[in-house]
Every structure is written in structure tokens, then in C-alpha cells.
Structure 1
Amino acid sequence: ASSGRFFAGGRVQVYVGKRRLSPEEREALEQTLRRSGMVLLGVREGEDPSAEAQAPEAGAPPAPHSPSGHTLVVTKTVRSGQEIRHDGDVIILGDVNPGAVVVATGHIVVMGALRGVAHAGCTGNRTAIVAATKLRPTQLRIADVIGRAPDGDAPQSYPEVARIQGDLIVVEASAEKRQVSALEAVGAKEDR
């Protein structure tokens, strides 16, 4: 599938911070999403995106990711101390700074640098992915597998996608560059 159609069929709720969209801006947003095959369910204005959904309680049984779940689109940088938790996929149009946390039951896609903590598939979805233009997380989790970026800041000029292979998180370069590099294993599985 083409990367431009990755979220085709997705139902999206967009968080725009404290600003209010004009009717023209809202229509432009709807057209942009429609071109990618997504449906705009609503625009959240003036509220905290972390209030959307809290992480599941410890010990809760894993729930499969529902492709019909809502997608949360955050149109700003997530700063240190901020936390976003969502039941579904999360798209961030901005960076995730060190000290920031993003937790989702589905996929996490960052159209910017991911330098904070990301936990995709937090309810046990081992098919979830984490993708970013610059993937340098302080900690990366997918379901019950934990990894981190290697030490040092290696230059990277292409997007990467992290997913589980076996009991490790592996990082694949974008479709244009099919190189594979493994995240250093902090522990193959999270201690429960």
C-alpha cells in the first residue's frame, strides 16, 4: 500500500489547541483528509488532548487494535512534561520533545522528530507501529516490548518505522531506503 494511503478509511478527530478554525480552514482540513481517504469526525478546540483517553489499568487484558477506532491528530509540538494518551491511532504534526510522552492503543506517527517516549499498542497490540521523520526516542515501546535509540546522534535524512519482529523492536527505513537497523534491546519484554 502507498504510504500516502496508510490511514485510508480512518475516522479522524483533530486537536488544534486553543485556536478556533474558520469555516474556510475547516473545509481545507476536510479536503486534505479526504484526499488521504480519511473522514473528519470533529475538531477539538481549546481543550487538552491528554484528556481524550487514559492508558488502560495495569493487569487489564490486551485488547486488539480496532481499525475503526478514532485517530487523534495533534497539530503542534508535544513539549517536555506533556502527555498524550489516546484510544486509537495518534498523528502528531510537529515534534515530540524529550520529556514528553505519547501513548496509544494503535499506531503513533510523528511528522517531525520523536525524541520523547512513545508507547504504541499499549493494550497489547503487537502489530502497532511507531513512525517518525526523525526517530530518536528516549524510550520506545510497542505492546510489551521496550527499546531505545542507540547512543549518539547518528545523522538521518529519511523517515523510519519501528515495529515488532519476534521479541525485538526493529527500525526500517522509509520505503525509499529499505535498510534495517535494530534498536538496542533494553529488555525483550517489559517486566510485569
Structure 2
Amino acid sequence: MTPPILAGEPWEYLGADEAIDVEHDLIVAAAASLRTGDDLAFAEAAFALVRDEVVHPLDVRDRRPTWRASDVLRERVGLCYAQSHLLVALLRAGGIEAGLCYQRLSDDGTGHFLHGLAAVLLEDHWVRLDPRGPDVGFSATEDRLLYTVRPELGEIDYPKVYPSPAPVVLDVLRSHDDGVALCEDGGLPGALED
């Protein structure tokens, strides 16, 4: 993986938007409760909360669609994108620059889907973290991802760190009312429109 490329201005990685609702009372309260040490300890605690307490709809057959960080925190369910939205919102609420990244992965059939990740600025460098599953650990020094990209299958590690969710991701999340069907019926976006 090449070093990440920032797609926004530095201050945007601390800002709020409709999906990364940093100033929502639930996000502020959760970030405050997690902030018991330095930035590194806080980032690890935020990562653990999302990884360990927010389930993926496919893992538990929970059809509730969530996309806004505060909704993900309240409902404790969300696709990889939504989990990343929550992690980024918590980190930003705690004063740490964070953004969103994506991978294009093969569905091991004839298509591809986007996978959502978070990126965080720790100890003067960006690392990508994947809160999707319990098998992924936290690191402040290197990327920790659930999936290894296989270029021979057309998979891509997109190098940009975005301050806001990709429009193609938000469009899909907002237009579906069943998170399980969205995954199983091939409704996930297949690539970034960059």
C-alpha cells in the first residue's frame, strides 16, 4: 500500500457532516467516556468499542439499515461503512483527526464491492483500521485490515483518505431499508466514482 493521500484539508478531518455527526449528544458522551488517557489509549478504546460492540447485519441477520454515526452507536448494528462512520465520529469528537478509506474487493464471482475502513492520524502518521470484525487488532504504527487486496482479481486499495463518506456509499445506504438484502442481492457499490 502506498502512503495515504489526503483528499481534504487538515481541518476537515476533525469536522462534522450528516453521516459523521460528531456533535450529536450520543457521540459526544461516548467519546468523553472513552477519553481516559492519551490519544493512543483513546483511539484504541474507540476502535474496540466499534469492533466489539457494533455487529455487521450479515453476521447476525439484523436487517436494520444504519449510516449515520449516532444511529450506529444507538442501534449497535451497521455495515462496514457505518461502522467506519462511527469510529471516525468518535475519534473526531475526542480531538483526533480521522477519515474514511475504501477497498474494492472481489465477491469471488463476477463482480466487486466496496469495503469501508477508517484512517486515523496517530503519532504523526496515518494508519488505516478496520473495525469490521473481532479478528482485526488495533495498531498505531501499521495498517490493520480484515482483507488483503488481490490485484489479480481486480481488487484495489484506494490510497485516499476522505473527510466525508463517498457519495456512492451514502446513496446506497440511504436508499435501502434492509441491510442484509443490500449485501446479499449485490446492492453494494462496486467502485468509487473518483
* Global fold match (TM > 0.5): no
Instruction: Give the greater-gyration-radius structure (CA).
Output: 1
In the superposition, the TM-score normalised over structure 2's length comes to 0.30
- Greater RCO structure (CA 8 Å; 6+ sep): 2
Structure with the larger strand share: 1
Structure with the larger helix share: 2
